[in-house]
Structure 1
């Protein structure tokens, strides 16, 4: 089992009210599996994604990636761990507007010991993979929304992470661009054996994955394949 999430709990204090974001969440994900994490707004999906990726800390429970816990430490240690193990893709590309596509993709590699030549080679290969080699010198303002998201995926992929976490990666795109992004993610899964967890409200996007998991009020409720009416049939959560 590649990813093991065991009895995660997370709470936030809002004034005098204690809000439960995650309540005893456990989930196992295989290497090379593409999971859709769905559910109502405020159900804890992004919180779970951030804890898996080491951007947030749970109150209790554990997360093991490849049998190893996330590294907790100073900012540089945790950032280096994320750069090597986790690639993040968000709804908005979050590209730095004053950098070219190639420079944006290179950012995670600046935390590694790779030489300038090695970094350039990886950046070139990543942009080639997402079909944007000819746009390496373009800045985000010169790219379409779909192209920006492809650059963001190249940035997430360039350091060869074991796990990719995608938070609404198609949420700001038209259907054609969204479909191309989903095809690209499935290519990363099938050709590079990447494990991908994608938060989405889009049932068409969810249907493009191997398995769907539903969070509701901080609890895992259902998992399985979507029915034709967009609802989910019950299935065991591994």
Structure 2
């Protein structure tokens, strides 16, 4: 299997090449690149079977590289430092990835997994990860039991948690249940027009009709959401700014 390493740090590239020699698996490194521009040229000329791809490169992202080599037929293992933004995208997409510094055992596992799946199956997973990475402030992607559900944040009215599960209520009446607690979604939502007025609720401020000083939010569809005394000040600050 011919492999290309696309990583902007030389010591990571060299370390990965050494690990690949150590673990074997019949992988031959045919090139190493530090930029999107260079990697596109090498990939088009050498046509690798597998690409070890860094997320953040000197002149763009690993996804930019994939956009520009869309006609090629290769598999991908991402390489990333621990960055919540990129890592969350990869996890949601169920894409194979390695954390820096690369561990030999994790490398063997990733190679085994990527070898067993088709390029087409992996491309579908990567497109899901890309949608998260590229639209982090616009779209929420829920990993449901049998599918990935894309939610336009402009359509999300509120979320309600219960015993480790979170229900997402949309303006069109649809509801989706995710098997994760509310805190897993809080960071992304609070970067947008949302507030957490209660431990069990996150609400879209754009859907609020009125707020009773007694501590109750009235949404435009008639739903009432409590405001806890502990979160009242932060909610009101968010509401009026």
Same fold (TM over 0.5): no
TM-score normalised to structure 1 length: 0.30
TM-score normalised to structure 2 length: 0.29
Q: Which has the higher strand share?
A: 2
Give 1 or 2 for the bigger CA radius of gyration.
2
